[in-house]
A and B are shown apart, each in its own frame.
Chain A
Amino acid sequence: GQQLNQSPQSMFIQEGEDVSMNCTSSSIFNTWLWYKQDPGEGPVLLIALYKAGELTSNGRLTAQFGITRKDSFLNISASIPSDVGIYFCAGQLGRSQGNLIFGKGTKLSVKP
Chain B
Amino acid sequence: DSGVTQTPKHLITATGQRVTLRCSPRSGDLSVYWYQQSLDQGLQFLIQYYNGEERAKGNILERFSAQQFPDLHSELNLSSLELGDSALYFCASSVLGWGAYNEQFFGPGTRLTVL
| Closest CB in chain A relative to B37 CB, distance in Å | 9
Determine the main DSSP class of A at the interface with B.
loop
Residues of B56-115 contacting chain A, CB below 8 A = 56, 58-59, 90, 94, 96-109, 111
* Cα of A43 to Cα of B107 in the assembled complex, Å: 8
Residues of the B chain whose Cβ atoms lie less than 8 Å from the Cβ of A88:
43
* Cα of A48 to Cα of B104 in the assembled complex, Å: 10
Check B43–A98 contact: CB distance below 8 A.
no
| Closest CB in chain B relative to A34 CB, distance in Å | 11
Check B2–A44 contact: CB distance below 8 A.
yes
Check B42–A105 contact: CB distance below 8 A.
yes
Partner of A42 from B2, B55, B58 at Cβ < 8 Å: B2
Residues of B1-44 contacting chain A, CB below 8 A = 2, 4, 6, 31, 33, 35, 42-44
Check A45–B99 contact: CB distance below 8 A.
no
Check A50–B100 contact: CB distance below 8 A.
yes
* Cα of A102 to Cα of B92 in the assembled complex, Å: 14
Residues of the B chain whose Cβ atoms lie less than 8 Å from the Cβ of A82:
none
Beyond the given pairs A48-B101, A98-B48, 12 more chain A to chain B contacts, judged by CB atoms under 8 angstroms and listed by A's residue number, are A33-B104, A40-B109, A42-B4, A42-B90, A42-B106, A42-B109, A43-B43, A45-B104, A50-B100, A92-B102, A96-B98, A98-B104
